[in-house]
Amino acid sequence: MKWNIVIAMALLSLLVAPAAAHSLWVEAEDVVEVGEVKDVYSLFGHPGSSAGMYVPLMDAFYLVSPAGERLDLATEEGTWLPGFGRIGYLSSKAAFRWPGDYVLASVRAPGVYDSGWHGGESSPMLVKDYAKAVISAGEGGEKAWDGGFPLEVQFEAAPYEAKAGDGFSAVAVFNGEPVAANYTAWYWTVDAHSSPEAQRGTAGDDGSFSVLFEKAGPWVIEVETTTDEAGEWNATYSNPYYQEGELVSYEKVWHRSSLTLWVR
């Protein structure tokens, strides 16, 4: 009985955890051959720590083909992943039928969070979360680098060509226009929210910013922006603060978008 109570409390804490406490990102081999079928992953939590990683409610998991066609992926939930251990994650088999660059995209279902629930100043916001990675298949072909999100990390240099010591220039774009978004970039073992090793800043008015890849391995670049946009959200799940089907008011919309890349 004691363990049942502990597990129940842990699940409740996941439902009401602060939106910024976990990150959404995707992982996949970034260079493949035409015709190959590869395992691809969507993860939610902290890349450097398996504690608290789980599968949130999701809206979509898909590929964008080199020609720009969206290809929805059938997903499976897993409970064990080498390198992370016992965690919750989504995976799928992705087929790369044509030469060119693909986007692997993941979209979390929106939800309302209010810092007032945890003793802060009340400011209910609708949270929207997106993640992508770019995958190159074969030689030539077209290049799809946008995931089709409202908030995107855009760039001119192919992510799969990044090398340790390189600077990486990017632009934060919201609804097709540059935005002075906040950004964070971190090596996968670094705590993005508290470590001084994470690179943080605010993009310029033209949306531009740059990060330095100090070493080889997996990196995540995340941008976020908030709009003053009030409304009501029809809750798709229950927690201690609202019930499924209830209309929950919010004052702002918080968008966050990540890019995962493997630095050589």
Contacts of 109 (CB under 8 A, 6+ apart): 56, 57, 58, 59, 236
Min mean pLDDT across 17-26, 85-94, 111-120 is at 17-26
Overall average pLDDT of the 79-97 stretch: 95
Residue 123 forms part of a structural domain: yes
pLDDT at 120: 92
pLDDT (tens digit per residue) in 116-145 = 998 999 999 999 999 999 999 999 999 989
User: Are the C-beta atoms of 116 and 82 separated by less than 8 Å?
Assistant: no
Average pLDDT, the chain: 91
The answer on pLDDT for 17 being more than 70 is no
Tokens found for residue 153: 């990390």
Q: For the CA atoms of 49, 25, 229, 206, what is the dihedral angle to 10 degrees?
A: 110
Whole-structure pTM value: 0.91
Residue 109 forms part of a structural domain: yes
Residue 129 forms part of a structural domain: yes
pLDDT at 21: 67
Please tell me the distance from the alpha carbon of residue 150 to that of residue 255, in angstroms, as a whole number: 8
187: region left, alpha or beta (phi > 0 left; psi from -120 to 50 alpha) = beta
Partners of residue 221 on adjacent β-strands:
185, 259
Domain enclosing residue 215, as ranges: 2-12+22-263
Q: What is the percentage of the chain residues whose pLDDT exceeds 70?
A: 92
In a 3-state reduction of DSSP, which class is residue 189?
Answer: coil
pLDDT at 47: 76
pLDDT (tens digit per residue) in 192-226 = 888 999 999 999 999 999 999 999 999 999 999 99
Overall average pLDDT of the 219-247 stretch: 95
Residue 235 forms part of a structural domain: yes
Residue 56 forms part of a structural domain: yes
- β-strand pairing of 252-263 with 125-137: parallel
Overall average pLDDT of the 44-70 stretch: 92
User: Are the C-beta atoms of 16 and 239 separated by less than 8 Å?
Assistant: yes
pLDDT at 10: 37
Residue 17 forms part of a structural domain: no
pLDDT at 191: 87
pLDDT category at 14 given cuts 50, 70, 90 is very low
Q: What is the percentage of the chain residues whose pLDDT exceeds 90?
A: 84
- Look at the chain and report how many structural domains it folds into: 1
Say how many C-beta atoms besides its own lie within 10 A of residue 197's C-beta.
12
Please tell me the distance from the alpha carbon of residue 172 to that of residue 170, in angstroms, as a whole number: 7
pLDDT category at 109 given cuts 50, 70, 90 is very high
User: Are the C-beta atoms of 149 and 105 separated by less than 8 Å?
Assistant: yes
